[in-house]
Amino acid sequence: MATALITGATGGLGQAFAQALADRQHALILTGRRLDTLEELKTQLSTRVPVVGIPQDLSEPNAALRLYEQIQSLGLTVDVLVNNAGFGDYGAFGDRDRQQLTAMLQVNITALVELTHLVLQEMRSRRQGTIINVSSIAACQPLPYLAVYAASKAFVRHFSEALWAEVKPLGIRVLAVCPGPTATNFFERADMTRNSALIARQDTPEQVVAETLAALQTDVATVIPGQPANRFLALAGRLVPRQWLVQQLEPRFRPAAQ
- Please tell me what DSSP assigns to residue 197: G
Catalytic option among 68, 90, 145, 149:
149
CA 77 to chain CA mean position, Å: 21
Q: Is 68 a catalytic residue?
A: no
Give residues with Cβ within 8 angstroms of 220, minimum separation 6. Answer: 175
**Cα gap 66→85, rounded to integer Å:** 16
Task: Tell me the pLDDT tens digit for each residue of 49-85.
Answer: 999 999 999 999 999 999 999 999 999 999 999 999 9
pLDDT for 127-156, tens place per residue? Answer: 999 999 999 999 999 999 999 999 999 999
| CATH topology classification for 3-253 | Rossmann fold (3.40.50)
pTM for the model stands at 0.92
- Residue 125 CA to residue 136 CA, distance in Å, equals 30
